[in-house]
Amino acid sequence: MTRILVVDDDSVLQRTLRINLRARGHEVLLAGTGEQALATFLSEQPELVILDLGLPDLDGVEVLRRLRKRSGVPVIVLSARQEADDKVEALDEGADDYVSKPFSIDELLARVRAAVRRAGSDPDTPETIEADGLVLDFAANRATRDGHPVHLTPTEWRLLAELARHRGRVVSHEDLLRAVWGPHYGRERQYLRVFANQLRRKLEVDPAHPRHLVNEPGLGYRLELG
Amino acid sequence: MTRILVVDDDSVLQRTLRINLRARGHEVLLAGTGEQALATFLSEQPELVILDLGLPDLDGVEVLRRLRKRSGVPVIVLSARQEADDKVEALDEGADDYVSKPFSIDELLARVRAAVRRAGSDPDTPETIEADGLVLDFAANRATRDGHPVHLTPTEWRLLAELARHRGRVVSHEDLLRAVWGPHYGRERQYLRVFANQLRRKLEVDPAHPRHLVNEPGLGYRLELG
DNA sequence: CCGACGCGTTAGGGAAGCGTCAAGATCGGT
DNA sequence: ACCGATCTTGACGCTTCCCTAACGCGTCGG
């Protein structure tokens, strides 16, 4: 989904972040020093940087400053308690957010989500879709058919959103399962049958002859819109 | 332009700030003590607070803490060099930025601009909302249902305000908890149940069948108006 | 002609989420 | 130090949702 550069000399933290961010579907690049961070940034062009201020070689703020010379990439700064001055300096240099150590993984992940969201939502995932009498509002989590509100469950929303991202194209069973249920899934096609059926009953005019949520036997499902 | 509360016991600095901020088109309120600051804040509802940590009566951090109980107003903290610990504490309590004395007026003004800009880019923070017999006045912290005044506690206001910012859209449990209780929260959904229940009992005509504060199981809550 | 396979459809049980109430715990003001 | 208001925490019953196991239908290939 998003390519994220993690700059930290603590290998434990590196590992923790890599695992958690990967589980969220991000691609993770690692750097242990400031020099390495700058080099990796230039060659890989990540879309988000998580930067620890306490680095062995360069001052973290200096790394940020050099990044800012080349790019407006979102940067989340990590800092230890006693580095309060650095924190403010980092904000001045254009850091987007900061998190004080010690922090919970959940908190950092939430800020990553916020940063990614701010950086510009996926152009692939539209906020609202309208076709025939069908209106899907992914931003507000509302759906209506012929003006009548339809209630969708969380899993139904996730499945529908994944199909909407690739609307008009077939999405494989495996991809759908991974996107909706998580990276450990891929073979449970029964799930898809059940939830596709539920969505059709709620969204299609004639659920027995679906015009929007179409199955491609042996391949996957496709969302067809106007 | 913006209404700014300056809290400082140094009359020279008060004067300097008043002149400079007025020159920038801001309305300036002054307070020399913590008590006065809190009183003025409640009555005048400024959009930004500049707070000196070295006050004659209350601890500056204590003033900030009490402000945060009532409001998410942006706060810029001023502190002398030797108060480094207070600085960290202030950031943890939710200060948006801080400036170390001695500082240049230009530097402070730059931070004021930044704070105002950040606050302004927030999704529309409504001042008043009216629907059915329900009137919510976020500027004055007053609510009435069918003309009868309803008393809401600080936490209830903050939850309601966060929902109102995104009215019509589902706000996730996580986002609500972070916005109302702080960045370290995210999993404590029972808080939301309790306070949603309290708000419904106070605001809904039929609390058992809410028409405004609606739950979306597994997703979050939505404030429905009009 | 028949078995294998993929898909649609339905329903039930268990788990998770939610509303509700009330008893501590905390905090601010008197 | 006390009291009232507010927030936290735990417990309980109810609702919603997800997983799972059926069964039927059609298609395809042997």
For chain A residues 97-126, those near strand C by a CB cutoff of 7 A are none
Instruction: Name the residue type at position A33.
Output: T
* Strand C, nucleotides covered by protein (CB < 7 Å): 6-11, 17-22, 28
Residues A120-132: what's their mean pLDDT? 77
Nearest CA in chain A to B96: A88
> Chain B partners of A157 at a C-beta cutoff of 8 Å?
219
**Mutation target vs B (from A24, A97, A104; most B CBs, 10 A cutoff):** A104
Which of A145, A161, A96 has the alpha carbon at shortest distance from B118? Answer: A96
Mean pLDDT in residue range B108-132: 79
pLDDT the model gives residue A121? 61
How far is residue A4's CA from residue A1's CA, in Å, rounded to a whole number?
10
| Spatial CA neighbour of A176 closest among A222, A142, A207 | A222
Kindly report the pTM of this predicted structure.
0.85
**How does the average pLDDT of chain B come out, rounded?**
88
A84 or A140, higher pLDDT? A140
d(CA A40, nearest CA chain B) in Å:
30
Q: Which of A84, A91, A110 sits opposite B88 (nearest CB)?
A: A84
The pLDDT value recorded for residue A83 is: 64
Average pLDDT over residues A194-210: 97
Which domains are seen in chain A, by residue range? 3-119 (3.40.50.2300), 128-223 (1.10.10.10)
Cβ contacts of residue B199 below 8 Å, gap of 6+? B152, B156, B159, B160, B213
- A vs B: CB pairs below 8 A: 40
